Amino acid sequence: MTQLDPNPRPIFQALDRTAVAPYPRSWYVRRALWGMVWRTIFRIPRAWGLRRSLLRAFGAKIADRVIIYPDAKIFHPWLFEIGYNSSLAEGVVIYNLGPVTVGAHTVISQGSYVCAGTHDFTRPELPLLRPPITIGAGVWIAAQAFIGPDVTVGDNSIVGARAVVTKDVPPGMIVAGNPARVIRPRPMNDEPSP
């Protein structure tokens, strides 16, 4: 064994003890089938209804009028739910090792990453954790934002572009930055625009 560090120190992490297959066997079969579907017919341009049907066939709870772009990636459809008239834009990744729920009238913009999976770094074998993520109704997640594990984004909130959200977002707030912080309440004027 080659030691790269001339001053060896004790190493806490023991990657040789990490679980190689942390899911039930049936999930690996479903993931393989889903991967084939996602790489082929799911990616047909403008086939909004087809994508909804394919996701439902794999166990997702997809409401009507949901728009999911062809290159949006959902890892485990059976752990995904999205409400009426919501959308996932181009390049969105729903890394849903745990359940991800998105409310109605919510937009997740281009390149955003929703990460419902992590590891318990307090244990040397780094066991997989799959905490849920809940994104409320009427939410706008702006481009390239990151939503971390075990986060709830409250109804009618806005997450700014490239924000890193690791804590819950209160309803009706605008958050931005890394780490995301509350900037101010979201103005909600229901009068029609001129």
Over the chain, what is the mean pLDDT? Answer: 93
pLDDT tens digits along 11-23: 898 888 888 888 8
Instruction: State the pLDDT at residue 4.
Output: 67
Instruction: State the pLDDT at residue 14.
Output: 86
Domain boundaries, the chain: 25-185
- Single out the residue of 104, 120, 121, 102 nearest to residue 112, CA to CA: 102
- Say which range, 13-22, 49-58, 148-157, has the weakest mean pLDDT: 13-22
Is 3.40.50.1110 the CATH number for 25-185?
Answer: no
